[in-house]
């Protein structure tokens, strides 16, 4: 009974944070509301006896992914949009889709309540942190390393795309900084020229 009450509490928090995320016009406030959704979902995972998935939810999504989203928002320097009066019909479309989603949610809740209860085998180690880590760094080591390299490439690409200075302006800034530090002899060094 307590787990059901906790589930509805955290589900309500997730829904409220999701509504807040959609409601705010400022993308930074929306990103913070999305962090609230991720935290509520990780609490739901804890109530479902999945602590590893809850920890990954906090570390990966609420931590790393949201930091990247906030960095992108800051780099794009988004201005406030002007309201579009010509898209008023989308409110009705959104309301209809929301109603369909609500009906689907109640159907899933009804189907889960009518499903037969199955016993949980506690002795199995599937899903435990040790078995996941062992599989990740033995059997699936190559895919993990490939994903790491792809993420590094995306990070370098994002830094290159975010640079707004042209090469001559950047060179002028570097030369001025070297003159300020009294390190004029380093102007021709290959690392500075990059």
| DSSP codes, 30-88 | HHHHHHHHHHHHHHHHHHTT-HHHHHHIIIIIIIIIHHHHHHHHHHHTPPPPPP-GGGT
Confidence check: pLDDT of 9 > 60: yes
Distance (Å) of CA 73 to CA 26, 33, 60, 140, 190: 10, 14, 18, 34, 33
Average pLDDT over residues 122-126: 59
pLDDT score of 67:
82
Most confident of 32-41, 63-72, 88-97, 142-151: 32-41
Both tokens of 121, joined, read: 């085998």
Average pLDDT over residues 57-83: 75
Tell me the backbone φ, ψ of residue 117, rounded to 5 degrees: -75, 135
Confidence check: pLDDT of 164 > 90: no
Question: What is the band of 126 on the pLDDT scale with cuts at 50, 70, 90?
Answer: low
Using the structure block, give the residue that is written with the tokens 């509805």: 8
Report the alpha-carbon distance of residue 136 to residue 130 in Å, rounded.
10
Report the alpha-carbon distance of residue 34 to residue 175 in Å, rounded.
43
Task: Sketch out the chain's domains with CATH numbers.
Answer: 1-118 (1.20.120.1200)
Both tokens of 39, joined, read: 């935290």
Pair 27, 78: CB distance under 8 Å: yes
19-68 pLDDT per residue, tens: 999 888 888 888 889 999 999 999 998 888 888 888 888 888 888 888 88
Share of the chain above pLDDT 70, in %: 77
Share of the chain above pLDDT 90, in %: 14
Residue 47 exposure: Cα atoms within 13 Å on the Cβ side: 17
Decide: helix, strand or coil at residue 1. coil
What pTM did the predictor assign? 0.53
Average pLDDT over residues 180-187: 64
Distance (Å) of CA 116 to CA 28, 35, 51, 119, 127: 44, 35, 25, 10, 23
Confidence check: pLDDT of 77 > 70: no
Question: What is the band of 194 on the pLDDT scale with cuts at 50, 70, 90?
Answer: very low
Under 8 Å CB-to-CB from 75, ≥6 apart: which residues? 162
Q: How far is CA 161 from the centre of its chain?
A: 20
128-141 pLDDT per residue, tens: 777 777 888 888 88
Question: What is the band of 11 on the pLDDT scale with cuts at 50, 70, 90?
Answer: very high
pLDDT score of 163:
65
């Amino acid at each position: 009974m307590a787990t059901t009450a906790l589930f509805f509490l955290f589900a309500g928090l997730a829904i409220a944070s999701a509504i807040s995320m959609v409601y705010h016009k400022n993308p930074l406030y929306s990103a913070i509301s999305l962090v609230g959704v991720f935290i509520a979902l990780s609490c739901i995972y804890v109530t479902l006896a999945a602590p590893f998935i809850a920890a990954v939810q906090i570390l990966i999504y609420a931590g790393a992914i949201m930091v990247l989203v906030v960095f992108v928002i800051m780099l794009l320097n988004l201005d406030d949009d002007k309201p579009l009066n010509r898209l008023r019909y989308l409110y009705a479309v959104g309301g209809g889709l929301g109603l369909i989603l609500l009906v689907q949610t109640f159907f899933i809740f009804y189907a889960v309540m009518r499903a037969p209860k199955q016993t949980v085998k506690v002795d199995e180690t599937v899903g435990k942190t040790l078995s996941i880590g062992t599989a990740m760094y033995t059997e699936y080591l190559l895919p993990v390393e490939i994903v790491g390299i792809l993420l590094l490439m995306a990070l370098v690409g994002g830094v290159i795309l975010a640079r707004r200075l042209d090469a001559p302006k950047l060179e002028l800034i570097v030369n001025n900084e070297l003159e300020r530090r009294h390190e004029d002899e380093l102007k021709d060094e290959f690392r500075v020229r990059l």
